[in-house]
Structure 1
Amino acid sequence: MAQIVIADVDVYDPGIGGTRTLRFATQSYTTGPTDTPANTFYDGRIQQPANISRTCFSDAKTTGRTQIGYGDMVLVNNDGALDSLLAYSFAGRAITIKLGVVAPNSNRVPTWVTVIKGTMEQAELSWQKVTIRVRDRQQDVAKPLQQVRYAGSNTLLGGVLNGLEGVANDLKGKPKPQVFGRVFNVAPPQVNTDRRIYQVHAGSALSALLAAYDRGAPLTAGAVYSSQADMEANAPTAGQYRVWNDATAGCSVRLGSAPTGTVTVDAVQGAAVTNRTVGQLYSQILQAAGISPSDINSADITALDAAAPYEAGVYAPYDQDITALELLDTLCASVGAWYGCDASGVFRIGQIAVPSGAAVGTITATDILKIERVSSRDPGVGIPAWKMKIGYQRIYSVQNDLTAAVIDARKAYLAEEYRRVESSDASVKTANLTSPELEFLTVLASASDAAAEADRRLAIYKVRRDMYQLTIRVDAPLAAALDIGKIVTLQVARFGMSAGKNFLVIGIRTNMRGYQFDLTLWG
């Protein structure tokens, strides 16, 4: 089979004051009248296609931080014909790379597979080549989530500060906080020191501010405010707090007395538990980071909600520039989920689970160029675990300096960042004398949900799981179907797989020169 790689590269051209699309291929090529785009020339300058690598997690792991994939596309420029690209801006612009295969008896009409739809860093031009680093779209969320900052513009009127923006020497330039789901004991910024006003959440109304505390002691809720002016004009009575919750300004709370220590709150964003699952919060965070809902796979979220309908919550504080990527890592780890972008640039999410259901294809010995069984780098290095511990109900402000009014049970609660549940099977130690105990920290809200997750993970990790890394040559249909999170059947005459065994694809790297895929399989 003959093959060709083409690339559509969007750049900003200052000469026209807008974007244009540059088109390159591994050999000069003109599309047909039914192609998109039709009857269009692609300059045969691709020396090295961008071999994209994407994994659910880091190498040989089924837990941890989801990895971003990228590769370099190299264009030939010996003749200097591409020197003009130096004036163009590539950074953050879109690139689409497709692999075309011309099968026998196809009248030389390629079958196209989109290998990557991503973005780019700025191109590097040398004397003989142009190098373009291609980025997975996941990189789009590796930036500070909250772009709205405190202005530090509170004004002094009648000897008292007015406004909710802080002043130059406390909050100016710091990100405004955001709540996703249900969070416990977060410490909001004091946005008006004279009026003892704290902002819990910016940009939209909270579903509820559940409680407020001063140095660990609960305060009494007063009547809600009707407006910012109402809040600034009318103080609560001593020992109380009152809330102003606004659809655009967010949620703020004013205290009736000067606090004796750290002020914290419990808060909820999302009208019902079904709005506060990991799947729903994943979508909300992506959208807060600027990702269009149409670029988020809704079927994945529905499937994850069914598998893990648990209430969760994460908090973007005011005192650090936390990225959407960091929040997503924390959130998805709570239910053993991976996330990333597929070849078409759509954000996907799925749960690491024992492979079940229909496979997208079968890989046999005739497809395999190289195969190796590899050792797990998960906690416990792949030895079946007999006990699973899950941390849940994270508190964001651990406190030990508390008022005398705080009861002992709450003192113990505030001294630990997480509560914990366990699930165990002592019989695992019969065959595995060094069977480990594994622990995972989550942002799940309830003990019952954490217990269910502990049971689920124990069922996965108390049994030996296998991992393989292999290089295969595939046809166009299988190439189009392969992606992280997909299930494939591996059928080889080794390790009891003569009849075939299903595996989850947890890593994939494309080699478009040889129409090869490097896969990491787990199951």
Structure 2
Amino acid sequence: MTAAYDALLVDPRASLGWLIEFTAHNVATDLDETVRLSTFGFTSEPSDTPANEPYEARVKSALNFERHMYRRGGRIGRSSQPSFGEIVLVNLDRALTKYTNPAQYLIRGRKVTAMLGGTEDYALVDFGTPLKEGRVKDFVARNGQLRLLIRDLQELFERAVQPNKYAGTGGNEGGAELKDKNKPIGYGDIFNCPGVPIDPANGVWQLHDGKIKSLKAVRDKGLVKTLTTDYTVDLNTGLVTLLFTPTDVRFDFEGDNTGSVYVESFADILERVVEAITGLTVNSTAVTTMNTANSAPCNYWCGTEKISIRQMLDDLADGPGAFFGDNFNAQVDLGRLEAPSGTPAIEFFGNQGIASGNVNNILAGTLEPVATVEPCHTLRQAYQRNWGVQSRDSLDASVSEADKDKYSTEWRFKSDSDATVLDDYPEAKEQTWYGGFSNAADADTESQRKFALYKVAQEVFKFTARAIPFKLGINDVIKITHTDHNLSTGKLFRVLGLAIDADSRKVEVWVWRPST
């Protein structure tokens, strides 16, 4: 960001100008074209890139959107929330109507960029990019307007984790029953996996579509088999060949080892999956920060049924209490929800009006509490998922009772509890968190951390403020000082959500802190 752009964001009286670019695929030429529009009429300079390009004044409403750390309506710290918004364009002369005709142009799923700057003596290079890259999800053309419905790049997370499918032609491509089924993918230390019998007549099972780090154990009816005598393994293809006739076979293995680099932390798995399948870039600084906070080994296995990237990452994020999403800068961010601390990015006061600099004012009457779940008196953290649960009756009689418990139970748990919580909160509940932790010690550590956060009341508020909406980001720490809600001495909060109205320069903010 330039100094001119930073100054613009904190000046409540500045005249703002928007530039919008979206990609339209010309069906006739089979080429992509960039459509350039603005709120005020703008032409780039000869020295700009692109040079001498007009941005026609057709933007009526630029970049109204919402972003949330988690899906609203449930407990804090659960599924991720894709961002959404819209851009409204003037189309009284119907000059933009051609972009809505799929026989002429295709715009759904294609790139859109929103740039913000001043309207006078402002060079293209000085414009900031609150939305560096989004996607046109859909459009509505009526009443002399073209509305572009925008989604962030997290839309790409609906793709399958397993990119390849079986051809069903026999051998390593499986029989007819596997045609068009997904090839399995595994990350981390997978326990008691059933694998996929791709050529059972020849004893061939597939654990992972690609290179794995190791095969730790093969068991049939709970009895351990011997390498070479009972089975062979090809670590480069994730294929196991059984040299016996199985009854109820299971496998323990360490999964994806692409490029001989094995990954098993939540952050490292996210980075590999997202970049390999979507082509998006993951914020490397955020990966390092997340690994510093929690680098515990995790695991996840996807069989032949489609598992979306979003579903897998949501499931895994439940372990370390993490979040992830598009940061609107053409990158994927991630982090962990923690109690707010440190120096606030912005300080808000409960006085009506507009302020500049690092101080902002909450509009009168807009600060209000948001309902959330009751505190918990017990928190259970799952670990060592059993990917192929077996009935005790299917196991050999010689298998120990302890092992029968392991092989017949889907999850193991560590827990923390405090009965005195019920004294203050009679409606307190038990919380269960899943995720993908491989080890008991890591689950125990995380159970203690989460319990400290969630055994107390959750203070969640929303409010509306003016100015500097684009200075705020998800997970930022802010400070609120207000005469209401016991905030007179000021408290720190974390930003959970933002709803920005670019035209009015208002932002609705959702914030959270554990009560102390």
Q: Say if 2:188 is the partner of 1:198.
A: no
The one-letter amino acid paired with 1:449 is D
- The aligned counterpart of 1:260 is 247
Contact kept in structure 2, 1:5 and 1:512, CA below 8 Å: no
Structure 2 residue corresponding to 1:96, chosen from 107, 113, 118? 113
For residues 279-319 of structure 1, give each alpha carbon's deviation from its aligned partner in whole angstroms, at most 9, with x where no partner exists.
11111121232334xx211111111111112110111211x
- The aligned counterpart of 2:6 is none
2:82 aligns to what SS in structure 1?
coil
> Cα distance, 1:101 vs. partner?
4.4
CA distance in 2, matches of 1:43, 1:15: 24
CA distance in 2, matches of 1:452, 1:515: 43
For residues 186-205 of structure 1, give each alpha carbon's deviation from its aligned partner in whole angstroms, at most 9, with x where no partner exists.
221111122110010113x1
- The aligned counterpart of 2:334 is 349
- The aligned counterpart of 2:221 is 215
Contact kept in structure 1, 2:370 and 2:462, CA below 8 Å: no
Is the alpha carbon distance of 1:338 and 1:502 closer, same or farther for their aligned partners in structure 2, counting shifts above 3 Å?
same
The one-letter amino acid paired with 2:241 is R
CA distance in 2, matches of 1:68, 1:82: 28
Contact kept in structure 1, 2:196 and 2:205, CA below 8 Å: yes
For residues 361-419 of structure 1, give each alpha carbon's deviation from its aligned partner in whole angstroms, at most 9, with x where no partner exists.
11223422253332443xxx1x3333211111111121103233332212211222110
1:331 aligns to what SS in structure 2?
helix
- The aligned counterpart of 1:363 is 348
1:386 aligns to what SS in structure 2?
strand
Contact kept in structure 2, 1:114 and 1:480, CA below 8 Å: no
- The aligned counterpart of 1:269 is 255
Contact kept in structure 2, 1:371 and 1:468, CA below 8 Å: no
Q: Say if 2:282 is the partner of 1:296.
A: yes
- The aligned counterpart of 1:115 is 130
The one-letter amino acid paired with 1:373 is E
> Cα distance, 1:20 vs. partner?
1.4
Contact kept in structure 2, 1:216 and 1:399, CA below 8 Å: no
Contact kept in structure 2, 1:145 and 1:289, CA below 8 Å: yes
For residues 412-469 of structure 1, give each alpha carbon's deviation from its aligned partner in whole angstroms, at most 9, with x where no partner exists.
1122211011112344344334433222112101111000000000111122231111
- The aligned counterpart of 2:29 is 16
Is the alpha carbon distance of 1:37 and 1:355 closer, same or farther for their aligned partners in structure 2, counting shifts above 3 Å?
farther
Contact kept in structure 1, 2:161 and 2:185, CA below 8 Å: no
- The aligned counterpart of 1:231 is none
Contact kept in structure 2, 1:505 and 1:522, CA below 8 Å: yes
Contact kept in structure 1, 2:339 and 2:453, CA below 8 Å: yes
Q: Say if 2:201 is the partner of 1:186.
A: no
List aligned pairs for 1:328-343, cutoff 5 A.
328-343=313-328
TM-score normalised per structure 2: 0.87
CA RMSD between the two structures: 2.3
List aligned pairs for 1:51-200, cutoff 5 A.
51-59=64-72, 61-85=75-99, 86=101, 87-101=104-118, 112-116=127-131, 117-126=133-142, 128-154=144-170, 163-168=171-176, 170-200=177-207
- The aligned counterpart of 1:505 is 495
Q: Which moved more, 1:327-336 or 1:363-372?
A: 363-372
> Cα distance, 1:122 vs. partner?
4.7
The one-letter amino acid paired with 1:268 is E
> Cα distance, 1:487 vs. partner?
1.3
The one-letter amino acid paired with 1:178 is I
For residues 141-163 of structure 1, give each alpha carbon's deviation from its aligned partner in whole angstroms, at most 9, with x where no partner exists.
11222221111122xxxxxxxx2
Q: Which moved more, 1:46-55 or 1:461-470?
A: 46-55
Q: Say if 2:256 is the partner of 1:243.
A: no
CA distance in 1, matches of 2:415, 2:451: 9
> Cα distance, 1:108 vs. partner?
6.4
2:148 aligns to what SS in structure 1?
strand
Contact kept in structure 2, 1:185 and 1:397, CA below 8 Å: yes
List aligned pairs for 1:454-469, cutoff 5 A.
454-469=447-462
For residues 24-46 of structure 1, give each alpha carbon's deviation from its aligned partner in whole angstroms, at most 9, with x where no partner exists.
12232234566654543212222
TM-score normalised per structure 1: 0.86
Contact kept in structure 1, 2:367 and 2:462, CA below 8 Å: yes
Q: Percent identity?
A: 26
Structure 1 residue corresponding to 2:368, chosen from 365, 373, 385? 373
Contact kept in structure 1, 2:138 and 2:150, CA below 8 Å: no
- The aligned counterpart of 2:297 is 311
CA distance in 2, matches of 1:15, 1:127: 28
- The aligned counterpart of 2:10 is none
Gaps of 5+ in 2: 1-13, 354-360
The one-letter amino acid paired with 2:275 is Q
Gaps of 5+ in 1: 155-162, 223-236
